Chains A and B, each alone.
Chain A
Amino acid sequence: MSEFPNKANVVVIGAGIVGNCLVGHLARLGWKDLVLVEKGPLPNPGGSTGHASNFIFPVDHNKEMALLGEQSANQYRDMNLSVDSGGIEVARTQERMDELQRRMTSAKAWGIEAHMLTSAQVKERVPFVNTEIIKGGFYCPTVSVVDSLETGTVMRKEAIEKADCKVFANTEVLDLITDDAPTPNGRRKIKAVVTDKGTIEADHVVVACGVWSNRIAAMADTYIPLVPAVHQMADVGPIDILAETNKEIGYPIVRDMDTFCYERQSAGSMEVGSYGHRPILHHPDEIPSNEEAALSPTEMPFTPDDFDQQMEEAIELMDMLGDAEIKYAINGLLSFTPDTMPCLGEIPDVDGLWSAAAVWVKEGPGMAQVVAEWMTYGYPRVIDVHGADIARFYHEEKSDEHIWARANEGFNKTYGIVHPAEQWESRRHLVETPYRSRQEALDAEFFQARVWERPQWYNSNADLCARYQLAPREVEWDNRWWSPITIGEHLNLRENCGVVDLSAFQIYEMSGPGALEYAERLAVNKLDVAVGRSIYTPWLNADGGFHSDLTMMRMADDRVRIVTGVFDGGRDEFWTRKHMPNDGSVTFTNLTKKITTLGLWGPNAPAVLGQLCGHDLSQNGSPYGSIIPVELDCGVDGLPNRTITAHLFRISYVGDTGWEIYTDWGNGPALWDALFEAGRDLGIRATGGGVYGTSGRLEKGYRLMGAELESEYNPLEAGLARPKVKAANFIGKEPYLAARQAGAEVACVTLTVEDQTDSAGRQRHMQGGNEPILDHNGARIVDSHGRVSRVTSAGYGPSVGKHLLMGYVPNELATPGTALQVMYMNEIFPVTVVGSGSAFDPGDTRLKS
């Protein structure tokens, strides 16, 4: 064993599948001076990797999980530590059959071979399945079984050979040392890792500690929000028909999705695993040490009462299991996060401290590559991972209370049928907005955006359905988490006006002598505009892909305001702090909970707002894009006399004239009441996010960060490049210039669905869940970078009269009028390209009227 070092460039903590693959990938990327520490023995230190079932079902509806799963499966294949066993998801219910059709659609999107099977065809492949209780199956031949421990060993050895990585097993981390005080950007710097073998100073420290990660993060006074949760598994055997294969795995893995169970052959035995039992969570401190554990630390004592129902259901599906002996059964621990996604990336409050956690074996090598690239290039190259970025979490999401509640609720979703718009039941209304009581009085249907609640529609507007003759959608799935009221609100806004609660906007200000210069460095577009002007601009990463897309406002000479969406707030705040000059020339302030925003739009918006102020609200007096400080008299029609100060921002994300009105948080209720009083005879309605985020936006073809805009695309492709490039330097400028030189290969376009009728004669409504866009032959469309054309957003355009989709297609297919197809629920529907602009009011006459 080499001498324990006192200094290293990178210390990776944890030698499970993630830590091992991470040092391997870092070595491949040229890193040196690596140290890997692990509290357990090698090759199986006793974490979750050691008891993993080690299979990969590559089809996932979520793009990050699907592509990184596939990436990981291929890495295992490349090392020859993988067998394609194939896998079948069986359905016991019609609802699950529908879900399997949805999986066929996702398989098509990601280019993964898959077939629907009749129950007889399932039996051909797995003769011991009871076909009487199943309706059919979804077969994927590239489902693979991997050797995660050996993969870890191989990757670790590669790091040792390539980068002289020092490995210290049986070495426990006792503390993480950071700078005492935060620097002006509000971050502390990691200094050292204290272990029972000694202290190592390090520039970069990565926590790859699986279920223990939050405890390790706490040593640096920060968080990796995950909790160890039990996944029960029983190994039963011996079973002759399995033993006779003389293989580790000779039959496809069966996922009995409706019982949340899987049956996976392991030589002569069958492993029956479950996500169907009650959620059983543990605090990391409850996990025994290697010495204290009867098996391994993460193989907790089996609690058979929790598994009995799964056993009965497993025997129902495979009678032979009943007489097999339960040789080994565990409450295996896995990591669960509040939103089911992993925790990757640099931890926002500690400079140099990284998280590579809440990663399962099925995505381990790919996610390790992501983190290695992130550390190397400042951004992952393999794929956009905003959904897994640890910076996404808000303060409210880091408490044990939140993590536990969500893990409890999310556990049974592991094999569940989860609608793309499905809302959480627990932990709602975490941030109290000024309007909640008013919105509840209007029977608002709240959708949660991370910790913020936004009315999606107001049930009090149900009368609009009669006015506009609107009906629910024909198919329950399409109608789920949706209401025709949202269409009524849309049409009313276009006819009269509506008020949209935009309190969830994340608002920051940068001030000080360096503020403008720093703002220029972040933004593609020019910030040096007149005070009172705004710019809408991409922020790029170092590779020239989108990091963000937001509005910046020149509030004063030395003060720039940033307004961004709630889903990107954490990531944008982190990005801003991370790149900030640390000399005190820029001060960062988060104003989100100080400033509230209401949107007022529609042809009657000027008439409504005109009753509150004497300002010239015409395009002349309040030009598009301007920010005007005003006083608003809220004493409309008998309301108490009250004058509030506000900023009127002439902008529209819905396609009609109007303003975002910014005022102090405390003024919100008075403003709300005044607007509704003033709009009483002008058809004003509280209007939900269904209009703001979907129907209004899609009719205008406005791009949304995280949907159309991802790091894999650049402003040229997104159609957001300005004619000229500013002189000032900014992050990603070089690759941006190069991209402009090369020209775009793909274009972001809007498409209309020409016929929504499915084979059963029902009208269907795509959801914007990565449905593949296909050419006229029904083939996938993939560009030279491997990016697939898929639906990034979808929704009905009431004023266009068609279902609208957005997505990227190659330039040659982007011409307006091009006929293409889209797959939804494993059926093909005809679509037509509208173009890169708006399907509704392409000349923007209504915006600027």
Chain B
Amino acid sequence: MLLVVLEHERGELTEAAREALTFGRSLADKMDEGIEAALIGSDAEPCVNQAGEFGAEVVHTCTHELLSDYGPDAYGAVIAEMVAELEPAAVLACGSERGNEIMAQAAARLDAPFVANCVDITPGYPWSMTRVQWGGSLLEDSILDADVALFTCGLHAVAAQPDDGADASVEEFDAEFDESHCVTMVKDRTVQEAGVTLPTARVVCGGGRGVGSADGFAKLEELADLLNGRVGCSRAVTNLGWRPHSDQVGQTGTRIAPEIYIASGVSGAIQHWVGAMASKHILAINTDREANMVVKADWAVIADLHQVIPAITAEVQRRKG
């Protein structure tokens, strides 16, 4: 049996959980085994049907009253107990922050190996896997000797797809559980403080020498505000005194990882690139088609930023109404 550990939030399976089941279905096929799921938490009930839709044949729920919120040690302990009792051949979660944490917690308790962020798994004795290293820049083929194989699949290694799926049957798992297992329970939640920071902003509007002056950054400020983002700049800009060092993106400044980096008039000197390269997407606005930033960007506009940025701002305002 393949046991798939499912994350859920507010009564919904997370995208990660759906991916885990999607990945798990093909793995279970290769193992020629059934697929069952683990749902931990007092509020997990509504997810059972969704698990069934995504192929789980049996869902083991653990709804102990102490499991009122997420707790890595508690979740890890439950999984370890499930392994001992249900004797799955393998356990799979999705390699999200929680998924990797829960599996590592379980593995520590079981004194078993755990292989994070697999993109391909072949059952056997030993198992063989291909997993992600260096944040995806490299792949590692490795093999695994284990009584029970513990994996996560890489986040977004597959796209979640429902199964034709019959309903899943539910089995309540009665964990041996007390407060000593709940030392690291979430105690509180806070909402993001007002104002985003450069390292955490989802949108960064960066400007380089091409912005032309300190005043020229006003256009970038306006767009950044509109997108709840922050303004960044290149080292040249800091050197020219147009922006403070705290705005500098780069080797000697801040490393950013926004959803999108809009780089305007930035040539993309290596210094700067090193700080910007973790951005998930890059849009370059530059008059020079051969500029490094343009070459490395996902999208580019070859034009004068002083015309393009206001046009974008206006368009965003229009759509936001």
Interface presence of A60 (CB below 8 A): no
CB-CB under 8 A from A280, the residues of chain B are: none
Against B, the Cβ 8 Å flags (1 = close, 0 = not) of A157-177 are 000000000010110000000
Interface presence of B251 (CB below 8 A): yes
* Most chain A CB neighbours (cut-off 10 Å) among B290, B292, B296: B290
Q: Which of A37-45, A484-492, A781-789 contacts B (4 or more CB under 8 A)?
A: A37-45
Q: Give the contacts of A1-53 with B (CB-CB under 8 A).
A: 1, 40-44, 46, 50
Q: Give min CB distance, B85 to chain A, whole Å.
A: 49
The CA of A43 and the CA of B291, in the complex, are separated in Å by 6
> Nearest B residue to A38 by beta-carbon distance?
B290
Q: Give min CB distance, B149 to chain A, whole Å.
A: 35
Q: Give min CB distance, B144 to chain A, whole Å.
A: 31
Interface presence of A327 (CB below 8 A): yes
- Whether A50 contacts B270 by the Cβ 8 Å rule is yes
> Nearest B residue to A46 by beta-carbon distance?
B270
CB-CB under 8 A from A46, the residues of chain B are: 270
- Whether B290 contacts A238 by the Cβ 8 Å rule is no
The CA of A266 and the CA of B251, in the complex, are separated in Å by 16
Interface presence of A442 (CB below 8 A): no
Interface presence of A296 (CB below 8 A): yes
Find B270's partner among A169, A170, A299, A327 (CB 8 Å cutoff): A299
The CA of A295 and the CA of B251, in the complex, are separated in Å by 8
Interface presence of B308 (CB below 8 A): no
Q: Give min CB distance, A53 to chain B, whole Å.
A: 14
- Whether B271 contacts A294 by the Cβ 8 Å rule is no
- Whether A327 contacts B241 by the Cβ 8 Å rule is no
Size of A's binding interface in residues, CB under 8 A: 26
The CA of A50 and the CA of B251, in the complex, are separated in Å by 15
- Whether B270 contacts A295 by the Cβ 8 Å rule is yes
The CA of A248 and the CA of B238, in the complex, are separated in Å by 10
CB-CB under 8 A from A43, the residues of chain B are: 267, 288, 291
Find B290's partner among A42, A246, A327 (CB 8 Å cutoff): A42
Q: Give min CB distance, A166 to chain B, whole Å.
A: 12
- Whether B252 contacts A294 by the Cβ 8 Å rule is no
Interface presence of A328 (CB below 8 A): yes
- Whether B252 contacts A267 by the Cβ 8 Å rule is no
- Whether B239 contacts A266 by the Cβ 8 Å rule is yes
- Whether A42 contacts B291 by the Cβ 8 Å rule is yes
> Nearest A residue to B270 by beta-carbon distance?
A296
- Whether A41 contacts B241 by the Cβ 8 Å rule is no
The CA of A1 and the CA of B291, in the complex, are separated in Å by 12
- Whether A267 contacts B241 by the Cβ 8 Å rule is yes
- Whether A268 contacts B295 by the Cβ 8 Å rule is no
Interface presence of A573 (CB below 8 A): no
Find A44's partner among B240, B245, B270, B289 (CB 8 Å cutoff): B270
CB-CB under 8 A from B270, the residues of chain A are: 44, 46, 50, 290, 293, 295-296, 299
CB-CB under 8 A from A293, the residues of chain B are: 270
Q: Give min CB distance, A211 to chain B, whole Å.
A: 16
Q: Give min CB distance, B266 to chain A, whole Å.
A: 11
The CA of A46 and the CA of B267, in the complex, are separated in Å by 12
Interface presence of B274 (CB below 8 A): yes
Interface presence of A235 (CB below 8 A): yes
Q: Give min CB distance, B23 to chain A, whole Å.
A: 31
- Whether A267 contacts B238 by the Cβ 8 Å rule is yes
CB-CB under 8 A from A235, the residues of chain B are: 252
- Whether A44 contacts B288 by the Cβ 8 Å rule is no
Find B274's partner among A248, A267, A294, A327 (CB 8 Å cutoff): A294
- Whether B239 contacts A169 by the Cβ 8 Å rule is no
Q: Give min CB distance, A542 to chain B, whole Å.
A: 37
CB-CB under 8 A from A290, the residues of chain B are: 270
The CA of A327 and the CA of B248, in the complex, are separated in Å by 13
Against B, the Cβ 8 Å flags (1 = close, 0 = not) of A249-293 are 000000000000000001110000000000000000000001001
CB-CB under 8 A from B268, the residues of chain A are: 41
The CA of A169 and the CA of B245, in the complex, are separated in Å by 31
Task: Show 28 A/B contacts (Cβ-Cβ < 8 Å), sorted by A.
Answer: A1-B290, A40-B292, A41-B296, A42-B267, A42-B290, A44-B269, A44-B292, A46-B270, A50-B269, A50-B270, A167-B290, A169-B290, A170-B290, A170-B295, A235-B252, A248-B239, A266-B239, A267-B240, A268-B245, A294-B274, A295-B270, A295-B271, A295-B274, A296-B270, A299-B270, A327-B252, A328-B251, A328-B271
What 4 A-B pairs come out closest when comparing CB atoms? A41-B292, A327-B252, A169-B290, A267-B239
B-binding residues in A (CB < 8 A): 1, 40-44, 46, 50, 167, 169-170, 235, 238, 246, 248, 266-268, 290, 293-296, 299, 327-328
9 new A-B pairs (CB below 8 Å) besides A44-B267, A328-B271? A1-B289, A41-B268, A43-B267, A44-B292, A50-B269, A167-B290, A238-B245, A246-B241, A295-B271
A-binding residues in B (CB < 8 A): 238-241, 245, 251-252, 267-271, 274, 288-292, 295-296
